[in-house]
């Protein structure tokens, strides 16, 4: 049985850990709110850019699409995997890595694969499995468009050069605080917004011409898609961490309760035996 001193030490140690996990829980909660606001703030741009692309595609016509939108046979596929830089975020990164492995295993063997990773956690988990063609670990967990520009630049250039014919992005979608769903979306060839059937070609002036504007706009569209996924990742990371840290805090509280109980029992039994000692001594004296 542990000595009372040892128990006290353990209680103090668990309590210190609990203070840390609680602090992390609170920090994650406030960062999560900020991340969710960022997701909201990105919405108007997404709406406007989709509308503009729709009008441009309509005006260009399917037979005169710029090279970036022209379909071609898929021989090489690149995967963009978004993970976090820090751990202690529950099963978030593990789920993303598992989805990635499933996706890659599910791809036909005839297709050449390359993997681009964002985040230290993905880098650590995937570097032993595949050859990574690029790794980005310097992007903050409050990402800005400028932070992710190199990532999209790499993909847009690679696609235009023909290094790959398809790009799929894997990231955690923030569903709610308890649920983060791994999602796989296709970045290239670009999935165009649905053109309304009843949309008619308005008399729009294009400068310089619809195809060139479209060619310039598509990289922005991809950038916006990646940026929004990064925001989803940030919101997911913070909420997963908040939930994990809350569980850890509760766990520590339970541990402390158990240890306190053991400590109090031990203390009480020592007092009792001491009282018995004194009482029997006193009785012996009184009897004499």
Partner 1 sequence: MAELTLTVVSPEREVLREEGVTLVLAPSVEGQLGILPRHAPLITQLAPGTLELRRGAETQHFSITGGFLEVMDNTVTVLADASENASEISRERAEAAREAAVRDLEEARRTHDDVMTTQARLALLRALARLRTVERARRG
Instruction: List residues binding partner 1 (CB under 8 A).
Output: 38, 41-42, 44-45, 48-49, 52, 55-56, 144-146, 149-150, 153-154, 202-208, 210, 212-213, 216-217, 220, 223-224, 227
Task: Specify the residue, 87 or 150, whose C-beta has the smaller distance to partner 1.
Answer: 150
Task: Specify the residue, 50 or 253, whose C-beta has the smaller distance to partner 1.
Answer: 50
Q: Indicate the SS3 state at residue 102.
A: helix
Task: Specify the residue, 26 or 145, whose C-beta has the smaller distance to partner 1.
Answer: 145
At CA 189, angle to CA 161 and CA 83, rounded to 5?
Answer: 90
Nearest to 171 by CA among 193, 192, 151, 150: 151
Q: Smallest distance, Å, CB 134 to partner 1?
A: 9
User: Residue 270: CB partners within 8 Å, gap ≥ 6?
Assistant: 4
Task: Specify the residue, 109 or 203, whose C-beta has the smaller distance to partner 1.
Answer: 203
Q: Smallest distance, Å, CB 217 to partner 1?
A: 6
Task: Specify the residue, 138 or 257, whose C-beta has the smaller distance to partner 1.
Answer: 138
Q: Smallest distance, Å, CB 102 to partner 1?
A: 29
Give the span between the Cα atoms of 32 and 176, in whole angstroms. 11
Q: Smallest distance, Å, CB 256 to partner 1?
A: 44
Question: In residues, how long is the chain?
Answer: 288
Q: Smallest distance, Å, CB 239 to partner 1?
A: 21
């Amino acid at each position: 049985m542990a000595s009372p001193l040892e128990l006290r030490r353990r209680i103090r140690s668990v309590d210190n850990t609990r203070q840390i996990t609680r602090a992390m829980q609170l920090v994650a909660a406030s960062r999560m709110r900020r991340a969710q606001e960022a997701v909201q703030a990105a919405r108007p741009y997404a709406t406007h850019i989709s509308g503009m692309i729709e009008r441009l595609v309509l005006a260009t016509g399917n037979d005169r699409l710029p090279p970036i939108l022209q379909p071609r046979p898929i021989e090489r596929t690149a995967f963009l995997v978004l993970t976090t830089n820090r751990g202690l975020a529950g099963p978030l990164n593990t789920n993303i890595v598992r989805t990635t492995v499933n996706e890659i295993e599910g791809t036909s063997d005839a297709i050449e694969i390359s993997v681009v990773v964002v985040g230290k956690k993905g880098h650590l988990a995937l570097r032993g499995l595949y050859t990574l063609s690029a790794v980005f670990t310097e992007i903050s967990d409050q990402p800005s468009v400028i932070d992710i520009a190199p990532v999209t630049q790499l993909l847009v250039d690679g696609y235009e050069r023909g290094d790959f014919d398809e790009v799929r992005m894997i990231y955690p979608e923030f569903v709610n605080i308890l649920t983060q769903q791994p999602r796989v979306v296709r970045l290239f060839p670009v999935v165009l917004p649905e053109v309304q059937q009843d949309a008619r070609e308005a008399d729009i002036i294009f400068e310089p011409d619809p195809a060139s504007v479209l060619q310039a706009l598509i990289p922005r569209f991809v950038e916006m898609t990646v940026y929004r996924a990064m925001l989803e990742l940030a919101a997911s990371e913070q909420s997963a961490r908040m939930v994990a840290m809350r569980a850890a805090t509760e766990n520590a509280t339970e541990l402390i309760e158990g240890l306190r109980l053991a400590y109090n029992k031990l203390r009480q039994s020592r007092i009792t035996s001491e009282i018995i000692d004194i009482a029997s001594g006193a009785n012996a004296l009184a009897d004499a």
